[in-house]
Structure 1
Amino acid sequence: MSYPVQWLDDTFRSQARAEELLRPDLESGLITPHDFQLATQFLPAPHRYWPSLFALGGSAGAAVYSRYLRKPPAPLNRVALLATVGGFFGASWGQFRRAEAHATFQSLLDDPVTFSQALENVNRRTGGTRPLGWTLQRAREVAQREGMHGNAASPTEEGWASEQPTNIPAPVSRSAPASGECSAAAQEASRSKGRWDEIRAVNARGGAQPTTWDVLRQRHERSQINRSQGEQSAEGSSRLDEQAQFDALLEAERRMAGRDS
């Protein structure tokens, strides 16, 4: 719970004052009797004076030690410096102890949220103009109730219904169009497949006439076969001619060698 400690110290100065300010919230049922008793005993306690008391004690202790207990005694300027440092550390320690006490108080509360709302009501009753919205981090989650001495009205079912958004677009269903597209594609594929099956069945029959596509395909295959055969024959004839020329050259060389001998 993070709340204004200084405001608490200034508002709840005594136990009687704390009971006077928190009793309306106890009677309305906002806070429990345990939280009421705990708050009236803790908030006016002497922990509010701890920073000042620890600062005074630290300053006085440092001054006494450095001036009277230390041998040789420190000069006055050093005593003043040590007293200032001691007071600073004493005040810091007092602030820490006070914060620790408030943390323990928070952990002992039955419902910190409703107690935060009670502090807001006390702030209004004492004439506070600025809300303590940062009194508790979860203060806005409190369920406000009727009969809270006019400080806050409890929300009704009609009020909650009026805050609900009315124009909410309905979610667009995309599953139906997707399934329709898939079924249409499947029907188209089945139709195409059925047509090709019929064409193949007709061509497979013995008495069926060849189609134009079949005639063109057969002509192309025949031309490819004839072309390959012509290339093979031309290649064979060229090899025979080369072999004949080579044999003629060998024969001429033999004849010239016979004449020389």
Structure 2
Amino acid sequence: MSLVSGRAVRTAAVLLPAAVAAAHVGPAATWLPGVRLPLFPGLAGTGPGRHIALTFDDGPDPASTPRFLEALDELGARATFFVLGEQAVRHPALVRETVRRGHELGVHGWTHDRPWRPAFARDAEEVARTVRAVHDLTGHRPRWYRPPYGILTTSRWLAARRAGLRTVLWSAWGRDWTADATAASVRARVAADLRGGGTVLLHDSDRHAAPGCWQATLAALPTVVRDCREAGWTVGPLRDHGVVPVPVHGGAVVPAELVGE
């Protein structure tokens, strides 16, 4: 092997893993609102301007999720709960009760891990496994996917697409997973970013957050819903949000995650 070819091989050995890693984590830039909201409105959950999609992550949790179900009943509101597969199979009755009360289930992954290393086969299996669990427990096949921490990678996006799920992040959140979250701070944080057609991210569990932080979310929930209604917006699950794939260029379809109405 010549000196030049040897250097080329060593350079490729360094650059190839870096390129693979960059391709894997590149979509994670959509976590940033400055990237997601203007460039990928569909991924941000942008829908019709008169509707707000209300979503919760990290359940089901028997310590807290029933409290949210009761509160939503009192408010006459329905929501989409992005569930973790491992939690769903541990608490099947709670999963069924959530659907019985008229709420929708989405997929949040099997576990709540950070996806820094490419793992195409594992991500595909875990997303599909959660889809099967939700379907087996409720008889309903989920339509939506939101990755843990909102960190979207190429392998997780492909896993969702392979499972027939649309990936939806959010356009407003309450930062309700922190130890210093209060009802007032959750309400204010949602209001700061919320516009008609937005998707709100909240959490119905503290299993992957500061202990007890769900109580701030629960206390803020009536005011968040009231604020939306006073602004003239209806509140409901993603299934009522009206975001669909858009055909373009002679029948080709833009991935639904990347467009908005």
Q: Tell me the TM-score normalized by structure 2.
A: 0.24
Q: Higher relative CO (CA 8 A, sep ≥ 6), structure 1 or 2?
A: 2
Q: TM-score, normalised by structure 1?
A: 0.24
Q: Which has the larger radius of gyration?
A: 1
> More helix by proportion, 1 or 2?
1
